[in-house]
Amino acid sequence: MKNVKYSRNTFCLYDYRGVEEHLAAMAARGWRLEEAGNSFWRYRRAEPAKVRYAVTYNDGASQFNPGPTEGQRSLEELCAAAGWEKASDWAQAQIFSTEDENAVPLETDEALRLENIHRSMKRNFLPVNTVLLAIGLLMSCSLVSSLVTGRVFRLLSSNARLLSGTLFLLLTIVQAYTLLHYYCWRKNSRRAIEDGGACLPLGRGCRRVSRAGLILTRALVAAYLLAELFAGNRGMALFYVVYAALLVLLVFLVRRTTALLRKRKASKGVNMAVTLAVDFALAFALIGGLTFGAIRFDWFGIDSGETYEYRGREWDVSPREDVPLTLAELTGERYDHVRRRLYREGSFFLPARDYTETALLGDGPKVCGLSYTLWEPRSPGLREALLEERLEDGEARFGGMTLLTRRYVPEDPAPWGAEAAYRRYYNDHPSNAWLLVWPGRVAEVDLGNTEPTEERVARITARLGPEA
């Protein structure tokens, strides 16, 4: 039988009534609060009992203090004299308990209680939530802009971009609701106190929003992982899982650093400085190390594996075969030195695969190349959004001058067996690159310096078209 249990903390700092009622109910079931943290609360098994809890606030309390402040010690002494025992600290909230039904309440002045709560909120809750709201607004701008303007191609161009945009939008909604909820509660409580009453109960709205946010976050992450696995991107799914695990480890190590320094009686300033330095160093080491390792060991499956160097370039020992069209198949020639790369991108709604091949002509030093991207939009609307994005003119500018203009010009699609074909032009010069539109598939093909003969066009259509 477990003697310790943990529960996710979904309380707002100012929900003192909710905390008191929750802890009393836990004690009645045989669980006493042992430690209240920002993310999780720890309970220890005890005999079921009728226990009263009281939450009071001290804006001078901090997790970085080497020990209780003078104000905290005075409060604890006063509470002990009144029959209340300290249960735990939670940021600026001080939690006390008693089994004495006749113990006097710790708070009797509601106006003072409300003022203490607001001072504590300004030290902990409000700055953090304001920063999170600002981050959420900034990072979700692209998602909101795409939804408002209907330009959804960039939004749906990758599962990761879609997930991050949705999560930041969710963060924005939750933080905006939470801040609005607090200020409305404070305003209404002040009015109630002026009328001779007490601070108003919070209700369960804030906790429900917090729980709903957690549930939606887990559902979105699960959907993202399934989408990546469904698309064959196991490396991307693994990267995200390890990334999330390292973030949890980072938070744990940073908090343990703070706790260790507090135990060693380091001053508040030293504790904060060292904790920040450790946070930065660990973030750089863990996340940077993960990114380097993922690229080094090709978790994303881009490269073919082992390579060798020849004429100052890297070439594949065993070029990958899981490509629809190779340079040798396109030109009918043999190449002794080849480098092929495949990158699965896009999202569940707009799958995409990007292929690149480079080959050495003869013994060198000249090279030739072939690259193409295949999109398979799940709906006609997504196909139109994709075409609108890709067919938009582009400019290369320097010092206020336009150096190069890229545009697509419609051509006869019949040779490609396509519904539509567009050739890429740079200024007024045609390139060997086309955007081809077939039913259910769009391809962007760049032949480099390989000429598009009738036979080669037929091979491209046969290998890259929707029937391939």
Both 321 and 283 in one domain: the answer is no
Q: 460 and 311, same structural domain?
A: yes
First to last CA, the chain: 60
**Residue 116 falls inside a structural domain:** no
**Tokens representing 79?**
């509470």
Does residue 459 have a pLDDT over 90?
A: yes
Classify each residue of 251-281 as buried b or exposed e, where b means 16 or more C-beta atoms within 10 Å of its C-beta.
eeebbebbeebbeeebeeeebbebbeebbee
What DSSP assignment string belongs to 189-200? Answer: HHHHHHTT--PP
pLDDT band at 215 (very low <50, low <70, confident <90, very high): very high
Q: Are residues 61 and 83 in the same domain?
A: yes
Which of 323, 431, 452 minimizes the C-alpha distance to 339? 323
Across the chain, mean pLDDT equals: 88
Q: Residue 326 falls within a domain, yes or no?
A: yes
Q: How many CA atoms lie within 13 A of 120 on its CB side?
A: 25
Does 115 reside within a domain?
A: no
Q: Out of 231, 252, 287, pick the residue that ends a domain.
A: 231
Q: Is 75 helix (H, G, I), strand (E, B) or coil?
A: helix
Same-domain status, 245 and 391: no
Q: Which whole number is the average pLDDT over 198-211?
A: 85
- For 220, the domain range is 124-231
* Residue 268: band (very low, low, confident or very high) from pLDDT cuts 50, 70, 90: confident
Mean pLDDT for 355-383 is 91
The reply to whether 26 falls in a domain is yes
- pTM of the predicted protein model: 0.80
Half-sphere exposure (Cβ direction) of 229: Cα atoms closer than 13 Å = 10
Average pLDDT over residues 362-373: 90
Q: What is the pLDDT of residues 76-105, one digit of tens each?
A: 888 888 889 999 888 888 999 999 888 888
Rounded distance, CA 159 to CA 155, Å?
9
Same domain, 213 and 272: no
159-194 and 205-230 are packed helices; what angle lies between their axes, rounded to 10 degrees? 180
Cα-based distances in Å from 432 to 107, 161, 364, 394: 79, 31, 22, 17
Q: Are residues 240 and 335 in the same domain?
A: no
Percent of residues, the chain, with pLDDT higher than 70: 98
Do 452 and 333 sit in the same domain of this protein?
yes
Residue 295, phi then psi, degrees to nearest 5 = -75, -40
Claim to verify: residue 142 and residue 263 sit in the same structural domain: no
CA dist., res. 133 & res. 131, Å (int): 5
Asked whether residue 179 is assigned to any structural domain, the reply reads yes
Identify whether 293 is part of a domain. Answer: yes
241 falls within a domain: yes
Mean pLDDT on 26-44: 91
What total of structural domains would you count in the chain? 4
Residue 399 above 70 pLDDT?
no
- H or E, element range at 88: strand 85-90
Q: Which amino acid is at 4?
A: V
Asked if 170 and 202 sit in the same domain, the reply is yes
Same domain as 313, residue 292: no
Q: How far is CA 458 from CA 159, 244, 415, in A?
A: 33, 47, 7
Same domain, 318 and 456: yes
| pLDDT tops 80 at residue 63 | no
| 374-397 confidence digits (pLDDT tens) | 999 988 888 998 998 889 887 776
**Is residue 246 in some structural domain?**
yes
Same domain for 11 and 94, yes or no, is: yes
Residue 468 has pLDDT above 60, yes or no: no
pLDDT of residue 64: 77
What angle (nearest 5°) sits at the alpha carbon of residue 111, between those of residues 109 and 117?
A: 100
Among candidate residues 59, 81, 110, the one where a domain is terminated: 110
Task: Please state, for a pLDDT cut of 90, what percent of the chain lies above it.
Answer: 45
> Angle at the Cα of 372 (from 370 to 376), degrees rounded to 5?
165
Is 60 exceeded by the pLDDT of residue 367? yes
User: What is the tens place of the pLDDT at every residue in 137-166?
Assistant: 988 888 888 777 777 777 788 888 889 889
Q: Which of 173, 202, 231 is the last residue of a domain?
A: 231
Distance CA 36, CA 23 (A): 11
